[in-house]
């Protein structure tokens, strides 16, 4: 079976390289304006729309669902599991992708395909968001629009963060971001994660720390965290849980969040996208934390 899977993988890469060679023969120059753009990453797609360049968009990944009109654009698959032949079959002349796009072998093929490939990096800082917007604007050949949108987003975000800051002497609410509650095991975000960044911007504090990335928490760690608020993405499926299911878990049953029934659910791409709508995300989360909803 492993040999067969490996063979299929080599055939797929071979097909993609063949298509890449065909595209390379007709590749546009790097300084020509791109007419057929593919995006991989929800924030990147939102930036394209915010810059008024959506008419050039011919493909987007499955996480890109905002604004609603983007759902009419061809879906190239999940951002971390892209198929190079699927992307190249749309005949793009520009690919703008998050540095989280994958798998690595697929990205290697795309970068060698003779199609301009722009990789966008970023984290949860206001400066990074502005830099991301400028980079997309430059890639699309509209640097002035990119600079203007970056400046506006940066100013809006600064205002939202300032408004969300607790009053002098006030205690920041401890917020536990729950990425998954599958089988009663809570997976949360630690230090230097997107979840930690948005919680901090909105005036809260991450209820857990001392580890990097997103990891399952032991029941003892959850009890020690004693969160005031549970923060989740408003999605369904096995990774979600109702308020009743959450607070029935022994590790949360006696938490301050359980006592007040405080659960905040938000759109995942709004909450963790870190793009032009991040000021809206900060305001929405800050309001929810202040209301103790």
The answer to whether residues 59 and 38 touch, using CB atoms and an 8 Å cutoff, is yes
Q: How far apart are CA 177 and CA 194, in angstroms?
A: 10
For residue 216, the enclosing domain spans 174-291
**Domain final residue, candidates 86, 121, 156:** 121
Domain total in the chain: 2
Q: How far apart are CA 171 and CA 138, in angstroms?
A: 42
Region of 283 (left: φ > 0; alpha: ψ -120 to 50; beta: rest) is alpha
Mean pLDDT value of segment 261-289: 97
Domain with residue 97: its CATH number is: 3.40.50.1980
Least confident of 86-95, 103-112, 167-176, 256-265: 167-176
Give the pLDDT confidence of 209-223 residue by residue, as tens digits.
Answer: 999 999 999 999 999
Give the pLDDT confidence of 69-120 residue by residue, as tens digits.
Answer: 999 999 999 999 999 999 999 999 999 999 999 999 999 999 999 999 999 9
Q: How far apart are CA 143 and CA 273, in angstroms?
A: 22
Considering the domain boundaries, does residue 225 fall inside one? yes
Considering the domain boundaries, does residue 165 fall inside one? no
Residue from 159, 198, 172 nearest 278 by CA: 198
pLDDT score of 293: 35
pLDDT score of 7: 44
Same domain for 114 and 198?
no
Give the orientation angle of helix 104-111 with respect to helix 2-24, to 10 degrees.
20
- pTM score > 0.75 for this model? yes
**Domain final residue, candidates 105, 121, 137:** 121
């Amino acid at each position: 079976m492993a040999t067969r899977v490996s063979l299929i993988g080599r055939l797929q890469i071979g097909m993609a390289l063949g298509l890449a060679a065909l595209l390379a023969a007709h590749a546009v120059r790097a300084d020509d304006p791109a007419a057929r753009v593919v995006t991989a990453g929800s924030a990147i797609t939102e930036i394209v729309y915010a810059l008024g360049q959506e008419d050039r968009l011919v493909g987007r990944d499955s996480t890109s669902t905002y604004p609603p009109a983007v759902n009419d654009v061809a879906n190239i698959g999940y951002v971390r599991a892209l198929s190079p032949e699927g992307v190249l079959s749309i005949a793009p002349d520009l690919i703008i992708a998050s540095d989280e796009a994958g798998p690595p072998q697929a990205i290697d093929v795309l970068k060698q395909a003779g199609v301009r490939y722009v990789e966008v990096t970023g984290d949860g800082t206001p400066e990074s968001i502005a830099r991301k917007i400028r980079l997309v604007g430059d890639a699309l050949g509209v640097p002035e629009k990119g600079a203007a949108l970056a400046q506006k987003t940066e100013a809006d975000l600064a205002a939202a963060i300032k408004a969300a800051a607790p009053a002098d002497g006030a205690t920041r609410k401890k917020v536990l971001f729950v990425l998954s509650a599958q089988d009663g095991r809570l997976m949360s975000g630690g230090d230097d994660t997107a979840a930690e960044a948005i919680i901090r911007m909105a005036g809260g504090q991450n209820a857990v720390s001392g580890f990097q990335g997103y990891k399952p928490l032991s029941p003892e760690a959850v009890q020690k965290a004693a969160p005031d608020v549970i923060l989740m993405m408003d999605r369904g499926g096995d990774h979600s849980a109702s308020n009743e299911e959450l607070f029935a878990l022994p590790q949360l049953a006696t938490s301050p969040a359980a006592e007040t029934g405080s659960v905040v659910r938000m759109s995942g791409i709004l909450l963790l996208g870190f793009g032009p709508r991040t000021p809206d995300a900060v305001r929405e989360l800050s309001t929810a934390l202040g209301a103790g909803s």
